[in-house]
Structure 1
Amino acid sequence: MLAAAAAALRPVPLRRPGALLRAPVPRSLLDSRGAAPFPRRTASLKISQLQLTAARFSKESDSAEDDELLSELREKWDAMENKPSLLLYGGGAIFALWISFVVVRALDSVPLLPGLLELVGLGYSGWFVYRYLLFQENRKELANNFDALKKRITGDDE
């Protein structure tokens, strides 16, 4: 067994790249079927079993809970005073998310830009750690800033 492991760990000469493809596989991996990374499933699920499970799940779901949830959502929607601004903010958020996916896909085609953006992100992360997390008084300042922001958002005047 040790000989097989040693044979698998021997260096492959760089002059013959095809030798990498013919590198010996340790015998322990060939003999043990249970140690395979992706064991085969002997019993696969059939479509009828999936349909039966889905039908059983839909029968078990309580329609009273669904009605209660919908009624709560309707009450909150009716209680909302400024519905157009909510729709505008929601639509803007969905649009911004869509634009970010489009921009990221477009940036992948520019060769140096992803590396540059990663470098900017690493630089900002390093600055943030140095500015706010390294020293105790700076951590207290960050906690105070966070608490002030939380109070401004929630409207607590404690």
Structure 2
Amino acid sequence: MLQGVAARRSVLARAEGVKKPAYEFDTDNLVSDLKEKWDALEDKPTVITYGAGALVVLWVASGVVSVVNSIPLVPKAMELVGLVYSAWFVYRYLLFKSSREELLADIESLKEKISGDSGTY
């Protein structure tokens, strides 16, 4: 009897088209832009040295974090510090409208300092 019920059951499947993401990343444009900027650099050895130095610093920092992580009670204390800091950040910058506006203004100011442009993006 159960075999008959299972045999009669049908499955309805509906095919949908692939949804496009909200933002498409243009890799060709990125590569050409990076190539232009690399060709425009005058002091390429300095850039390579800074990049290699950053990788060494990242490697050393990873070692330090793993050593600190092996000390008893320190990982839990760091988690507590992170939780308290996150709660403070939400209270200070995200909870109230005026502080959110202040945070956005600070971010825009930082973007202008980094990019050197005074235009908006």
Structure 1 unaligned regions, length at least 5: 1-68
- 1:132 is displaced (CA, Å) by 0.4
Give the % identical residues.
Answer: 50
- Deviating runs (4+, > 6 A) in structure 1? none
Deviation at 1:108, TM superposition (A): 2.4
- In structure 2, the residue matched to 1:87 is 48
Q: Amino acid of the residue matched to residue 46 of structure 2?
A: S
The superposition leaves residues 35-90 of structure 1 with CA deviations (integer Å, 9 ceiling, x where unpaired) of xxxxxxxxxxxxxxxxxxxxxxxxxxxxxxxxxx69x74x6444211223312320
Amino acid at match of 1:100: A
Larger Rg: 1
Q: 1:108 aligned to 2:69?
A: yes
Scaled by the length of structure 2, the TM-score of the pair is 0.63
- How many aligned positions are there? 88
Which residue pairs with 1:147 in the alignment? Answer: 108
| 2:81 alignment partner AA | V
Structure 1's 157 and 97: CA in aligned 2 closer, same or farther, altered over 3 A? same
CA distance in 2, matches of 1:104, 1:135: 35
- How far is 1:117 from its partner? 1.0
Larger RCO (alpha carbons 8 Å, 6+ apart): 1
- In structure 1, the partner of 2:98 is 137
TM-score, normalised via structure 1 length: 0.50
Structure 2, unmatched stretches of 5+, are 1-30
